[in-house]
Each structure stands twice: as C-alpha cells, then as structure tokens.
Structure 1
Amino acid sequence: MYITRRLEFDAGHRIPDHKSQCRHLHGHRYAIEITLSGSVINKAGDAANGMVMDFSQVKSLAKEHLVDQWDHAFLAFAGDRAIVDFLGSLPDHKTVLLDRVPTAENLARIAFEQLDVVYRDTYGNQLQLERIRLYETPNCWADALRARLD
C-alpha cells in the first residue's frame, strides 16, 4: 500500500551558473510530497490500526527532519562563495548550506536522502520511503524515486 502526505514551505535559492533569471536570488513556495509504502497495520486497539502510517506522524517527522530547517531559509550551494559569504555577514540569517546546487532535482534527492532513514520501518510494517516529489512551482517539479536513485 502507498500513502502520500503533502507539506509546503517557503525558501530562497539561486542557481549560480544558470544563464537566465534563476541565477538571481529568488524564492519559491515549495511543496513536498512524501510517498511511503508499507503493510497496512492490522492490530486491534492500535492507534494506527488500518493505516500504513498515521498522516500526522508523516507530517511531524518531515517537519522535524527537513521542512522546519528549510522553511524561510536560503538554500545555498556551499561552492557559491559570493552568496555564502554575503549571507554569512547577515546577523542570525537562516542559511542552509548544501553540497549541491539547489535545483529542484537536487533538492528532491537531498530530501529523499535525509528522510529515507527517518521513515524506514517506523512501525515494523516494512515501511519505506518510495518517492519525494518536490514542487518548485505549481507547474514544475522533480521526483526522487527509490527505484531510480542508484
């Protein structure tokens, strides 16, 4: 069985080598969809009876391990020294340094890597992260799929 939970957050970024508008500092209202697979729990009296995982727990784990860190932050490639140095000069600025350029594709992959261990077999029901879909805009998104990450 597959379940999906969607969350939204706001963040800034730039694509330093882009030849058009994305090389400038800008932001997005991102949406992230977290798709998990697992067996439906069939245990009378269990709060998760009939579920793969309680959607509220999917949300709380995603917020704790990813969304709260990225929300209202600037997602910067550590190699983008001009921006990293500038952001470092701002007192208490919320900056997340990444080892990759913060494209939708890379952010989806980073999110998958960070959340994969968080959800793995949480309930003992073969729970596993299958897909992260990261929307940069309502019409543009990237999918990081377990089957395609290798």
Structure 2
Amino acid sequence: MYGLRTESEFDAAHFLTDYHGKCENLHGHRWRVVAYLEVDELQREGTCKDMVVDFGEFKGALRALTERLDHHFLVEEGSLSPDTLACLDREGFTLFTVPFRVTAENLARWFFDCLAELGLPVSQVDVYETPANCAIYRR
C-alpha cells in the first residue's frame, strides 16, 4: 500500500444547533485539515509514473477547499432565521452554508467527499478544531 499525506488550515466561525453547552454560541477555530491518499499500486505511465498522484495536484485540491471556507461563518442550512441571514448579509458577513450540522466530524466527511469527487484516492481526512482534538472520517 502506498500513501500520501498533506494538510491545510483555515479560520472560520460556527456554532452548534440544538446543543447545550459553550459551543451553542458563535465561536471560531483555526481548523487544520489533514488528508491521506492510498493506492495499492503506483501509476505506471506518464509524468506521474511511480507516484500515487502528483503532490502539487493533491496539495492544490485540499488548499482550494480550505480556501473556500477561510474567514467564513459556517452555517447549517435552516439553523438561522431569514431575518438573521438578511442582517448578516447587510453587515457584509460571508457565510458558507452546508446541509449538515457544522461539527468537525461532518466537516471531515465533507472534505473526504469533495476530494473523492475530484478523483483522488482519498482514504482518510482528519479535521482538528484545536491542536489536540480532531475528528476522523475514513472509508
């Protein structure tokens, strides 16, 4: 088995809906995303011969995803009232709305799925909310 690993970071705010504790309030993280690729055999031909994939392609794909979220307010679809959304928009806040509760676990799955859709042989994604705490999604 052969593998690659890369990571990227982004800053974003979120809150947890239907949660009773500190995380129900708006707060932010310096999120760290670590992604792993895995293949049984290396490529046999072309410019990527004897590679899993080109590191540049892998790093670029992950960085493009983290850039989409960087300095955004991550919001679960339907968790804020239309009035609140309109107010945030008027005030110039940049929201990134997702169809799931904004947990590290769900973000790990989101990153995994996005990388897989790009055709990368992703095997695992770790999403760190803090330097010591991460959620893992693997196939």
- Quote the offset at 1:69 in angstroms: 0.7
Written as runs of structure 1 = structure 2, the 5 A alignment for 1:1-150 is 1-38=2-39, 39-43=41-45, 46=47, 48-64=48-64, 66-82=65-81, 84-91=85-92, 93-120=93-120, 128-146=121-139
Distance 1:85 1:26 in 2: 20
**Equivalent pairs, count:** 135
- Quote the offset at 1:42 in angstroms: 4.2
Distance 1:13 1:25 in 2: 6
Give the letter for the 1:41 counterpart. Answer: Q
Identity %: 30
Question: Unaligned 5+ residue runs, structure 2?
Answer: none
- Quote the offset at 1:86 in angstroms: 4.0
After superposition, the CA RMSD in angstroms is: 1.8
* SS at 1:79 equivalent: coil
Task: Judge conservation of contact 2:7–2:62 (CA < 8 Å) in 1.
Answer: no
Task: Judge conservation of contact 1:78–1:84 (CA < 8 Å) in 2.
Answer: no
Give the letter for the 2:72 counterpart. Answer: A
Distance 1:129 1:145 in 2: 8
TM-score (norm 2): 0.86
Moved more, 70-79 or 111-120: 111-120
Runs of at least 4 residues of structure 1 off by over 3 A?
82-86
* SS at 1:18 equivalent: coil
Give the letter for the 2:76 counterpart. Answer: F
Distance 1:85 1:103 in 2: 24
TM-score (norm 1): 0.80
